[in-house]
Amino acid sequence: MSLIVQKYGGSSLADLDKIRLVASRVKKCRDEGHELVVVVSAMGKTTDQLISLAKSLNPFPPERELDMLLSTGEQVSISLLSIALSSLGVSSVSLTGGQAGIITTDTYTKAKIFHIDTRRIKDLLLKHQVVIVAGFQGRTPQGDITTLGRGGSDVTACALAAALSADFCEIYTDVQGVFTADPHLVPQAKKIARLSYEEMSEMATLGAKVLQPRAVDFSQAYGVRVHVRSTFSEREGTWVEEINSMEEVRVKAITHSGDMLKIVLLGVPNQPGVAAQIFKALSDFSVFIDMIIQSEGREDYKDLAFVASREDEEKVRKAIACLEKELSFQGMKFDETMSRVSLVGAGIASSPNIAYRMFNALARAGINIDMISTSNSRISCLIPRDLMEEAVKVLHEEFIMQEVRLNEEV
């Protein structure tokens, strides 16, 4: 008998028929003798609707009150799923994040889990109950409700799996698993059977929406195996787990993000500590920076270019406004027409041939590269957004389909 944590997202719970389907799947797993903790998101677009309600009253709602409101979406889901299970003769108990012992920081709307008191969940499991937990939320040590930010239900599930020493964590979604590219852009995209934690973390950070990066970090830190699979199919999905680094270096997937913002600060003083000031200000506004280039420029002044998400544009502008009082740079430019395409695969950045093939494939397609960044397991290029889809298709053909055809010939 295994202890399994399952997580069902909003698309898997969008209406009552889908909730009944999830209940049937939970019952089947329970009938096989497994202990189950089930984490659920809010139904469908409930969270977006609640945010819209709040902003219709106040464009900038107090974050504590917004968390109180948003947490109700998951509470509807846990209750309805428990009721559906009762109709199937399955005994279950629904718990809010706080009732489940999830303790977080008091950073409202983007809280972080720092402790889970598992005693109540373990007691319920001993009583042969299916435990249904509201994802995306927790409580502060003082008892205030908090939410964990977008994708927070993934974090809840993986954190609970780690705290409970679960055998594995299943992330149910509306796709079959993790693919070599977005199937909406590349119909020939292939499902990936296995990914390392590092590869999945890179994919999640770079635009793949099947798993939240913080959830992958929890899983890797505690060695939790994660199975990403479809709610609507019995087929195997994608396993995210520790993979022997001695395996062959190859590209596993192509990811893309169409919402990139390029910022250029012109005439930045070329002095020690100036770059630190700039990126400290951006950090204070929680702006994640991907690519950075400092031009040669003149001896006393340099141009500094960096890339952020377009959704952070307002925060970037506020950070730069604060800097203008301290630094006398000569101007700035914002380019909202950029996108990022990336190759992901353990160790690929250490293979010069892969970088060459990527740049050559884009060049053959007439796609100019604006900026480049690398890590051990990814190579990313900033390119014009109107060429993003073509770039994804070209790179998928170069690195995935050529290998597929080669293997078929063997």
Whether the per-residue pLDDT at 160 is higher than 90: the answer is: yes
Question: How many CB atoms are located within 10 Å of the residue 283 CB?
Answer: 12
Share of the chain above pLDDT 90, in %: 72
DSSP state of 128: T
pLDDT at 348: 86
Show the DSSP H helices in 169-247 as ranges.
197-205, 213-222
What separation, in Å, do the N-terminal and C-terminal C-alpha atoms of the chain show? 41
Predicted pLDDT at 349: 78
Which residue in 50, 253, 70, 240 sits closest to 157, CA to CA?
Answer: 240
| Listed residue (302, 295, 237, 236) closest to 268, CA to CA | 302
pLDDT at residue 353 tops 50: yes
Percent of the chain whose predicted confidence (pLDDT) is above 70: 97
What is the pLDDT confidence band of residue 286, given thresholds at 50, 70 and 90?
Answer: confident
Digit-coded pLDDT (tens) for 7-43:
999 999 999 999 999 999 999 999 999 999 999 999 9
Over residues 181-217, the pLDDT tens digits come to 999 899 999 999 999 999 999 998 887 778 888 899 8
Domains and CATH numbers, the chain: 3-241 (3.40.1160.10), 253-409 (3.30.2130.10)
Dihedral through CA 96, CA 13, CA 24, CA 40, nearest 10? Answer: -30
Tell me what the mean pLDDT of segment 312-337 comes to: 86
pLDDT at 250: 85
Residue-wise pLDDT tens digits, 380-398: 999 999 999 999 999 999 9
pLDDT at 245: 60
DSSP structure class, residue 399 = I
Of 348, 365, 363, 350, give the one whose Cα is nearest residue 399.
348
Contact between 383 and 339 under an 8 Å Cβ cutoff? The reply is yes
Sheet holding 137-139, edge to edge: 113-116, 102-104, 137-139, 145-147
Q: Residues 207-263: pLDDT tens digits?
A: 777 888 889 988 999 999 999 999 998 999 999 998 876 556 789 999 999 989 999
Task: Report d(CA 97, CA 44) in Å as an integer.
Answer: 19
Residue range 67-83: average pLDDT? 97
Instruction: Calculate the CA 179 to chain-centre distance.
Output: 15
Query: Is residue 410 very low, low, confident or very high in pLDDT (cuts 50, 70, 90)?
Result: very low
Q: Strands (DSSP E) along 214-270, which ranges?
A: 226-230, 238-241, 253-269
- Which has the higher per-residue pLDDT, 110 or 131? 131
| 360: its two tokens | 């050559």
**Whether the predicted pLDDT of 296 surpasses 80:** no
